[in-house]
Every structure is written in C-alpha cells, then in structure tokens.
Structure 1
Amino acid sequence: MGSLAIVVSVVVFLVPFAFILLTAAMDATQASEFRFAWPRNFQLWDNVVQVLQTRDYILVIAFINSVVLTLVSVTALVVLGSMVAFVLQRRVSRWTGLINFLVLTGLIMPPAIVPTIWVLQRFGLFATMPGLILVEIAFGLSFTILLFRAFISTIPKELDEAAVLDGAGPLRLFFRVVLPLLRPVMVTVILVQSVAVFNDFQNPLYFLPGDAGATVQLTLFNFQSQNLSSYNLLFTDILLITIPMLLLYLFFNRQIVAGLTSGAVKG
C-alpha cells in the first residue's frame, strides 16, 4: 500500500513538474508541439533571461509586489488570528456562538467580488496595495483563527491564571506567555498562508489591476495573450514563480503537518 502511494505521488506531482521543466528548456518551435520530450536545443537560461526582460522586467516588479503582499498579509494574519482565537477560546460569552458562526461563514461563503470592489472604492482603496492586503487578510482570517483556536485549547488555563496572579495584564499575558507557546501552529499558518497569498491569482486580478501592481501569477498573461505560440516562455515563467514556494514547502513540510495535527493529537 505504501509503495502504491509513492507511485501515485510521483505520477501526480513529479511528472507534471518534469513536463514544466523540460518545456521551459525548449525552443519555441519544439515547445509549440506540446509533447513530453527531451529538448533538442537546451536553452533554459536563454528563456529565463527573455522572461525576465519581458515588458521592462515586469516579472521582477511582480516578485517584489508579491513578496510585499505576502509578508504584510501573513504578518497581520498571524497577529490578528492568534489574538482573536485566544479571546474566543478563553473569554467565552453570550457573543461567542455568534462569532463562531461568522468565522465558519467566512470559510463557507464564496467571496463577493462586486460588493468588495464597491467597499474598496468608497474608502479609496481599490487598485491599491493596502486594499489588496486587506482583502487577503479578510479572506484568510477564518482559517487562521480555527487553526490557532484548536491549538490554544491544548494550553492549560493554569498558565493564564499564574501569569495574572503575577500581575500580567491582557496584552502581556498574550504576548509574553501565550504567543511563544504557539510557535508550532504559527509556523504552519505562516507557510500555508504564504503559499496561498503568493500564488493567489483571482484577488490581484480583480482588486489590483494595472502593471504597477502586478503579482507573479498575473505575469502568465504576458505569454498567453501576446505570444500564443511561446509555450517555452510561458512554462519558464511558471517554473520561476513555482520554485520559491516549492522550496518553502520541501524544507518545512514536517512543520506544516505537525501544526495541522497538533490540536487533534493533544486534545
């Protein structure tokens, strides 16, 4: 059974990646054949240079935009999500049920594009990086809260009571006592949400139009609409924007699994 799982994993994940890599190393003529084959003229480096230089280095600009978007959004998600989860888990009130319902609703209901654009326009945030950051935070907050809350439920309340007896206020209790204990699930949230935000295609397309705010996923349009036959450049672009998140996952996949299952195991 284990061998079968390995074979399926290889077919599902490694074969498509190999196809991307080989096509990215082909010339335009061979790539247009769209076949799984070894490149007749290996020109991966030339394709990389051409992709980077396309439209005045828009891919470089897009990488910078995506990194800024990811760093700010994920940082806010970690801080806000952990604080909300702590309050919901430790400060049960008559509003807790309603708030839990709203959190679950954020996971179930699909995002409404037109009303969101209308709200951003009213606040002057449409087509701006701060506006897109707020959208990413709003769409990722429910999942983040649920992860943090599951982990916080495994932390003994006696730690909170001891800190309060020592004179710790709410903020000091959270940032000095509780937050350091959340490192396992915090790593999971950072990695999962970083991949989600960095690879997001829909939200930047709708809420941050224009070349100045382009993110890495939107650069795929450069080779789909303008150069319909340049599959070698399209797959080179895909390869370049896939490598950062792929490396991140390969190095930290154990932490991701540990953080997702820690609440269930300890609970």
Structure 2
Amino acid sequence: MASVWIDAIGLVLLGIFFVVPFIFIVLTAAKTRQEAALFQFTWPSQFQLFQNIQDVAVFGNYRMFRAMWNSSVLTVTSITLIVLLASMVAYVMQRRQDRAASIAGTVILAGLIIPPAVVPTIFLLQWLHIYKTLFGLILIEVAFALPFATITLRTFMTTIPREIDEAAIIDGASPTRVFVSIILPLLRPAIITLIVVSSVAIYNDFANPLYFLPGEENVTVQLTLFSFISQFTSQWNLLFANVVLITLPPLILYIFFQRQIVAGMTAGAVKG
C-alpha cells in the first residue's frame, strides 16, 4: 500500500514540475498579444494557436525554416561524428589495459570536468578561418560532447565479452571488421541513447550558436526566440508559439525512442 502512495505522489510531482509548465506554454501560445502579456493560467478567450504558429513561421521572410535547416544540419552531422569517433575511442580504451589507455581516459575525464573557454576558442576558430561557419560550430559541438559519449559507450562496452573479439580474430576477421560487424551492432542500445540525448542537447543549444555562429544567415532555432522579445515591447504569444514549434521535434524523438533510452542507460550498469 505504501508503494502505491509513493507512486501516486511521484506522478503528482511529475505533473506539477513538467506537465503543468508545458500546458501553460501552450495556453499562452494560443492567446492574443494582450492576453499573453498578463501571464495568467487561463483558457484563451480566442484560441489562435495555429494562427500564432503560422505568424512565427512566416516571420522574417520564413526565418524559422532557415533556422530549422541549420539546426538539422548541425544536429545530424554532429551526432554522426560523435557516434563514430566516440565508439572507436571507447572500443580501443576498453580493450586495451595499458598506460596509453589510462592517460587517454584521464584526458577524456578532464574534458568532461573542465569548462570550455569561449574567447580562446573563438581565436582558434578565427585562426583556422572557420569562425561564423556551420562547420566550425559542428566541430565545437563534437568536441564538447565527445567526453560524455566516450565514457557512456566505454561503460556499456564492458558488458560485451572480450571472447567475442578473440573468436572473430581466430576466424580471420581484421580488427576493423570486428569493430564494424560485431561491436557496433552490439552497441545499438547505447548508441540510440547517445543519439537521442546528444541530439536534444545540440538541438536545444543556445550558448554555442550565440558565441560561435553569429549572423542572420546562421540562425538556429533557439536564437529565433530573440525575434519576439525586446527591451521595450514583446510579443509573448508569438514567443511561446515559437517555443511550442521548436519543442515538438525533440519531444517526438523522445516519445518514439524512450524504451531504447532506458535500455541504454541501465545496460551499462550490469557489469564493470
């Protein structure tokens, strides 16, 4: 009986902290400009959610579509590089038990702990002539996410017996073939978890595009929030409609892959 009450209290708290704010966002996005400025948790007198979303989509010569394209390219390319690089590094680090692997693990852990420096990074991008470019921001996102991705995949890889590698090598498979044909398919739950978690983080990233990708043509979805708020006047209904519009892709992604996320998060804790 006590467990039932605990579950009920947990669901209530979940609704208060997650569902209620989302409902408030949707209701505010459906109001007129005057009603939205009151910030009241009430039903709109004139429900115009779809009209507000349409206004957001066409604002600034369809700026939202350009932002979604930039964010999509940024997210997909970054995630592809993160998965490939992190899986290869994690495989080598987990299978090797020498001093080089220990040093690499320390460096990766330091990259996870030490905060990034914005100004030196900008100077480096300018020296490489990739500042204010999507390619430069992709490298930044990959560098920031690589330590977490490597540690996650390395932890999950401890559940894969080393005997599988040895058996494949005895059968004549090269190390590259072992990694591509055997290890990568077995890493599927962890890779799906990494894809979902990292893609949401990169898609929702606000600071890095603001620092490393300035410019009207380089706008990402999070930077479009600046379009409807200013020092003297703000269109809160369009701002919240913008939030609803850019929240839908990661929300749909999480709904479809929630089981794989849980499996990937818990599988690495079985061993090692």
TM-score by length of 2: 0.96
247, 250, 256: which one aligns with 2:261: 256
Match of 2:141 in 1: 136
Match of 1:158 in 2: 163
| Structure 2 unaligned blocks of 5 or more | 1-5
CA drift of 1:167 comes to 1.6
73, 79, 103: which one aligns with 1:68: 73
175, 180, 183: which one aligns with 2:185: 180
CA distance in 2, matches of 1:253, 1:166: 37
**Is contact 2:159–2:270 with CA below 8 Å preserved after alignment?**
no
CA drift of 1:266 comes to 4.2
CA drift of 1:229 comes to 2.9
Match of 1:241 in 2: 246
Are residues 244 and 52 of structure 1, via their aligned partners in 2, closer, same or farther at CA, if it must alter by over 3 Å? same
Alignment of 1:1-267 (within 5 A): 1-225=6-230, 228-267=233-272
Report the AA paired with residue 216 of structure 1: V
Are residues 83 and 140 of structure 1, via their aligned partners in 2, closer, same or farther at CA, if it must alter by over 3 Å? same
CA distance in 1, matches of 2:238, 2:80: 33
Match of 2:3 in 1: none
Cα RMSD for the two superposed structures: 1.1
TM-score by length of 1: 0.97
Alignment deviations for residues 194-232 of structure 1 (CA, whole Å, 9 cap, x no partner): 101100001000000011111100000001128833100
CA distance in 1, matches of 2:18, 2:266: 23
CA distance in 2, matches of 1:220, 1:57: 14
Structure 1 consecutive aligned stretches of length 4 or more whose deviation exceeds 2 Å:
225-229
CA drift of 1:258 comes to 1.2
**Is contact 2:71–2:203 with CA below 8 Å preserved after alignment?**
yes
| Structure 1 unaligned blocks of 5 or more | none
Report the AA paired with residue 38 of structure 2: E
CA drift of 1:106 comes to 1.3
SS class of match (1:110): coil
* Number of residue pairs matched by the alignment: 267
CA drift of 1:92 comes to 2.2
Alignment deviations for residues 51-79 of structure 1 (CA, whole Å, 9 cap, x no partner): 11111111110000001100000011111
Report the AA paired with residue 80 of structure 2: T
CA drift of 1:111 comes to 1.1
Report the AA paired with residue 167 of structure 1: G
